[in-house]
Amino acid sequence: MITRPISIALTRAIILMLTPLASAQVPSIAPPRTVPPTGAPETGARTPEMPASGAHPLTKADVEAWLDGFTPYALQRGDVAGAVVVVVKDGQVLLAKGYGYADVAAHKPVDPERTLFRAGSVSKLFTWTAVMQLVEQGKLDLDADLNGYLDFKISPRNGKPITLRNLMTHTPGFDEAIRALIIADPKDMPTLEAGLKHWIPPRVTDAGSTPAYSNYGAGLAGYIVQRVSGISFDDYIEQKIFAPLGMSKVTRLPRASRSRLNWSRFRQQARSLLAAPLWRRS
């Protein structure tokens, strides 16, 4: 019988035909997944040692080479238009570099010195800093009923009022909602006071009992800073935090950034988000 030799020959031919096809395929965008070794090393094998501390100091060339390889891939994988990466070492900027586009339609590249990015909830750190500045000055008490600082009332739940400490630890007990969190046009943005008084979210847990992220709570803290300091919250952050730190390229005011932000694109993104199903808003 010659069935076996023919089968073997045919199998070899198929393998040879598939090999060039496989090598011509486009590799996946995802990086190769490495599986860490398990168990003890084989007999005679040496476990690699970590380089001694300070053996090779971090340099700009090292950081830039790594970022140039990773960041474009990350932007493409996440469908992100552009980004700025700043690396600080020993109190000095080691590298500041932009990737992608500040304006995709115009193919305007990101400029690390001029392109503005919305900080989002990172800006809450400035709110908490402002609160603690006023605590240091003896003007705020972290454990007092915050109604003492407001011109409207937040009702207690089960007899437990909300304190600034609750706001700062995200334990005020407010329900959280996304509705109206994003405004498509800066002209439609209400004042901090008007936004907080327009709708007070329901209390769903007792103050201090349950950690639950609260945008409204952070807004309350900013409004308390505004009332106690006697100046608008935006002005307080500009004058008391940004200016002393020399942060001349940071602003909380939309009017100061319109010429450097693509507002038409922002409006389109905002409308898309607001039109999305609730479960997609994250």
Neighbours of 43 (CB within 10 A): 5
Q: Which region holds residue 77: left if phi is over 0, alpha if psi is between -120 and 50, else beta?
A: alpha
Nearest to 162 by CA among 197, 206, 198: 206
pLDDT confidence band for 46 (50 / 70 / 90): low
Tell me how many degrees the CA angle 144-148-149 measures, rounded to the nearest 5.
100
User: Residue 177's pLDDT is what?
Assistant: 79
User: Residue 84's pLDDT is what?
Assistant: 94
Least confident range from 15-19, 34-38, 199-203, 220-224: namely 15-19
> What are the pLDDT digits (tens) for 228-266?
999 999 999 999 999 999 988 787 765 444 444 444 444
Amino acid at site 266? F
Whether residue 120 has pLDDT greater than 60 = yes
pLDDT confidence band for 47 (50 / 70 / 90): low
Mean pLDDT, to the nearest integer, of 196-207?
92
- Nearest 10 degrees: CA dihedral of 204, 205, 211, 217? 60
User: Residue 199's pLDDT is what?
Assistant: 87
Greater pLDDT, 275 or 184: 184
- DSSP bridge pairs for 187: none
Tokens of 259: 């010429």
Count CA within 13 A, CB hemisphere, residue 164: 23
User: Residue 180's pLDDT is what?
Assistant: 67
Look over the chain and give the mean of its residue pLDDT values, rounded to a whole number.
77
User: Residue 14's pLDDT is what?
Assistant: 35
Q: Which region holds residue 100: left if phi is over 0, alpha if psi is between -120 and 50, else beta?
A: left
The rounded percent of the chain whose pLDDT value lies above 90 is 54
Amino acid at site 44? G
- Rg over alpha carbons for the chain, rounded to the nearest Å, is 28
Greater pLDDT, 77 or 18: 77
Mean pLDDT, to the nearest integer, of 192-198?
91
Mean pLDDT, to the nearest integer, of 185-213?
89
User: Residue 223's pLDDT is what?
Assistant: 97
Integer Cα distance of 3 and 7 in angstroms: 6
Tokens of 241: 């935090």
Cα maximum dimension of the chain: 100
Whether residue 30 has pLDDT greater than 50 = no
Sequence-separated (6 or more) residues with CB below 8 Å from residue 116: 249, 251, 257, 260, 261
User: Residue 281's pLDDT is what?
Assistant: 30
Integer Cα distance of 200 and 156 in angstroms: 13
Task: Give 216-281 as a DSSP string.
Answer: HHHHHHHHHHHHHHSS-HHHHHIIIIITTTT-TT--S-GGGTGGGS-HHHHHHHHHHHHHS-GGG-
User: Residue 150's pLDDT is what?
Assistant: 97
Nearest to 203 by CA among 224, 217, 218: 217
> What are the pLDDT digits (tens) for 63-118?
999 999 999 999 999 999 999 999 999 999 999 999 999 999 999 999 998 898 88
Whether residue 167 has pLDDT greater than 70 = yes
Whether residue 186 has pLDDT greater than 90 = no
